[in-house]
Every structure is written in structure tokens, then in C-alpha cells.
Amino acid sequence: MIAALTPLLYSLGPAAVLLVMAVIFAETGLLVGFFLPGDSLLFIAGALVASHVVDVPFWVFAAGVLVAAITGDQVGYLIGRRFGPRVFSRDASRLFASSHAEKAQAFFERHGPKAVILARFLPVVRTFVPVVAGIGRMPYRRFVAYNVIGGAVWSVGMAAAGLYFGTIPFVAHHIEIITIGLASLSLIPAAVAVVRHRRQRNGRADGERDADDSLLELSATGAGVTVDPPVEQQPG
């Protein structure tokens, strides 16, 4: 994905900031956002701002991605809070179960602040953590506070790292080749993710675990918490 987005950053000029903002928002505000390359996009865009390929002041770029990051997580939280009870009212759900809602609530009561902040730096996990936080009914004000902290550290930090990288003379003189190289390297974790997804899908087909177990385990594992799978009752 980043390999396709990088040429657009060159062609759009200052409007590239809007593209980066849209991707950052979608990554955490939409459930399909885990396919989007937030980390690498922020870094590469920061380097392009430094080299004036994207000719905007850094503070404008930083403010834009910060707003997008915070807003995306807020939308994810509200989606989980608004639609969670409706999903759990069904007898069977392909995504969540009522037992997982209870586990999510307990998880965020114990680890909420740390999970919301650290999840920013974990691809895929950061897409689902805000939704699970909303489903788990994490207090809204508490979520907002740690969302702002995590969003600021992640978005501005990654952009600033790219900005510094772009000021290195060798990088500045070879910015196009280097950014294309970075974009190509980003395809490696994407390929790994595809392989893992296929293995998990095959495992589900064999009855190893359902999608709801997979989703909650993904979020909890990324935050450093192990979620035990449901225990089947043996017939007495």
C-alpha cells in the first residue's frame, strides 16, 4: 500500500497532507484500516516535508496528522460504544461475543491507559483497540485523555523522525530513491500479515478458533495481555 501511496505524495504537493490525514484517520477510525501503512507513511511524508517535496511548514503537517490520529481513535471508540450492545444481543456473532465484551471491560479497567497509548505503535492492533475500548465501556473522558497523549506521541513523533531523517544531506540529495526503497521494504510486513491471515483462516476452517476469539486475542496480545480461550465443558 505504501508503495502505491508514495508516488501520490510526490504528485500532490501540499495537498499530500490531506492524503496522509485521510489514511491516518481511516487506519484507526474504520475497521478496514488495518490494511493501511500509518507508521511508514508518516515517516516518509515527514522526510518529504523536510526536503520541500511536500512544501508546507512542518507545524501544519504535524497539526494535521495529530487531528487525524485523535479523531480516528475517537470514531473507533464511538463505533464500539454505540454498536457493541447491538452486536452482543445476537445469539451468535462472527466478530464478538458477550463474554468478550466482559473481558474487554475488565481488560481496560486494568490496562486501559497503557493499552490506548502503546497500541498506537502496534500495526493492526491500533485499529481494534479503540473499538474494544468502546465496547468495554472505558470511561469516555479517560479514553480521550490517553487518546490525545498516544496520538500526539505517535503521529508527531513519527513525523518528526521523518523530518530529521530528511534533513540529512545524503538523504536530501537522494530523497526519491530512498523513499521508494523505504516503501518497498514496507511490503515485507504486509506479506507476513497476508501469510498469517491465511493460516488463521485455514485454522478457523479446521475449527481451531472463531473470528471473535481471533480479534480479541489480537488486541490483547498487542497490549501485552494474554486472553485465555473459552474452556469447553466436558460431558459428565
Q: Walk along the chain (236 residues) and give the pLDDT tens digit of each residue.
A: 666 677 778 788 889 899 999 989 988 787 666 567 788 888 888 988 988 888 899 999 999 999 999 999 999 899 888 887 664 555 544 554 455 445 545 556 666 678 888 888 877 778 778 888 888 788 899 899 999 999 999 999 999 988 988 888 877 676 667 766 666 665 666 567 667 767 777 765 555 444 444 444 444 444 344 444 444 445 54
Instruction: Indicate the domain borders of the chain.
Output: 2-222
Residue 233 has which C-alpha cell? 465443558
pTM score of the predicted model: 0.68
